Amino acid sequence: MAVGILKNSDGKYLLGKRLNSQSWSGWWEFPGGKLESGESSSEALKREIFEELGVVIKKYRKWTTRKVIEKNKITTLYFFLVTSWDGMVEGIEGQELKWVNLKTYNSTKILPPNQMIHNALKNDLPDIYAITNLKEISSDNFFQVLKRQVNNGLRLIQIREKNLEATELQDLIMRIKTILQYSNVRILINSSISLAYKYQLDGVHLNSKQLHELKHFPKDLLVGVSCHSKKDLEMAEEKKADFAVLGSVKNTLTHPNFKTIGWEKFNKLVGNSSLAIYSIGGMRINDISSSFENGAIGIASQRAIWADL
């Protein structure tokens, strides 16, 4: 199925209500439909949107793809971000439509396969989740590359420096905050909820141990979690994490003896999850397209993102 995520100039997204004649009647979803024989996903997107909404798509990009298993049937969902079209949007098939602010919209009646999209968009999650790595890059070089990456569109960063003393970590946090104070980059700290509050950061990234041990996650912070298994993903979903990173997909220098899961297993693990998930482990910029194809919303990168290119 090709699914169009239409965003208007006010930053709101279009949802359609499923008809009484359809399964899951009364539930809301992003518009789209099945691919016809010999049709590509982008061709199906344009046709379905025209048939359902009466508009001609002008600007779009292919985003993530999810394989959903229901009643022993596998359905592939190709999600597209659509930002420009010709014509006035209307419910050609009689369906009710509404433009919603996903940051405040109650998602309980959004069709389950669309929940992941809602979670990613309401938290404005970008394609790249950068993780600091001062152990392998000089401080001066890091800050130069950080400024360059911000200019290139970086919007989410995790401070993960387990080898620093408390005063060194404080200095790093304050310097990063100073550099990013006039940007729209959000800063998360690894493992420490208390430091996230102390330094007024945007969120915290929890490890898999914390994922299972903490009874509740803070609701006023952006919460990311590290996952390595189906059990981890289910727990993260149950505790309402904002997003997860899953891996390791490939071999890494950080965990040389850690068994990798590869793209095939990654794809299977993310399939029915409503979480927005980043792929992690040996990820490079050119892996973003592979992450999309395998159900992720992008990559988490600790090394390639800081490469001095």
DSSP assignment of 186-206 equals: EEEEES-HHHHHHTT-SEEEE
Q: Does any domain span residue 119?
A: no
Q: What is the pLDDT of residue 75?
A: 92
Query: In terms of domains, do 18 and 158 share one?
Result: no
| Residue 121 lies inside a defined structural domain of this protein | no
Does residue 237 lie within any of the structural domains? yes
Give the span between the Cα atoms of 194 and 273, in whole angstroms: 29
- What is the CATH number for 283? 3.20.20.70
Residue 94 maps to which CATH number? 3.90.79.10
In this structure, are 246 and 163 located in the same domain?
A: yes
Residue 260 class from Cβ within 10 Å (0-12 exposed, 13-18 middle, 19+ buried)? Answer: middle
Give the whole-angstrom CA distance, residue 131 versus residue 217. Answer: 21
Distance CA 148, CA 302 (A): 16
Determine if the peptide bond prior to 248 is cis (ω within 30°).
yes
Whether 122 is covered by a domain: the verdict is no
Asked if residue 308 has pLDDT above 80, the reply is no
- Identify the domain boundary among 41, 75, 107: 107
- State which amino acid sits at residue 82: V
Q: How many domains does the chain have?
A: 2
pLDDT, tens digit, for every residue of 144-156?
A: 999 999 999 999 9
Percent of the chain scoring above 90 in pLDDT: 88
Confidence bin at 13 (pLDDT 50/70/90): very high
Residue 112 lies in a domain: no
The answer on pLDDT for 6 being more than 90 is: yes
pLDDT at 293 over 60: yes
Which whole-number Å values give the CA distances from 154 to 11, 116, 130, 146, in the listed order?
20, 22, 8, 9
Residue with the two structure tokens 């727990």: 235
Long-range contacts from 226-232, C-beta under 8 angstroms, 24+ separation: 226/280, 227/277, 228/261, 229/269, 230/269, 232/208
The contacts of residue 195 (CB under 8 Å, 6+ apart) are: 169, 173, 189, 201
- pLDDT of 251: 85
pLDDT (tens digit per residue) in 158-181: 999 999 999 999 999 999 999 999
What average pLDDT does the segment 100-124 reach? Answer: 93
pLDDT, position 254:
66
Mark which of 107, 136, 164 sits at the end of a domain: 107
Same domain, 45 and 168: no
Is the pLDDT at 309 greater than 50? The verdict is no
Q: So what's the pLDDT on residue 107?
A: 82
152 and 286 co-located in one domain = yes
In this prediction, residue 307 has a pLDDT band, given cuts at 50, 70 and 90, of confident
Asked if the structure places residue 252 within a domain, the reply is yes
Residue entry with tokens 């009646």? 109
* Residues 144 and 186 placed together within one structural domain of the fold: yes
Q: Quick one: 103 and 144 in the same domain?
A: no
pLDDT at 112: 87
Distant-in-sequence, close-in-space partners of 180: CB < 8 Å, separation ≥ 6: 150, 157, 187
CA distances from 231 to 203, 234, 248 (A): 23, 5, 15
Report the pLDDT value the prediction gives residue 139, as an integer from 0 to 100.
Answer: 87
Q: Do both 153 and 260 map to the same domain?
A: yes
- Please give the residue range of the domain that contains residue 18: 2-107
C-alpha span between 163 and 14 (Å, rounded): 46
Residues 145 and 233 in one domain: yes
Do 173 and 266 sit in the same domain of this protein?
yes
Same domain, residue pair 300 and 253: yes
Would you say residue 50 lies in a domain? yes
Clarify whether residues 182 and 79 are in a common domain: no
Q: Please write the tens of the pLDDT for every residue from 196-242.
A: 999 999 999 999 999 999 999 999 999 999 999 999 999 999 999 99
Question: Are 142 and 280 in the same domain?
Answer: yes
Domain assignment of residue 272, yes or no: yes
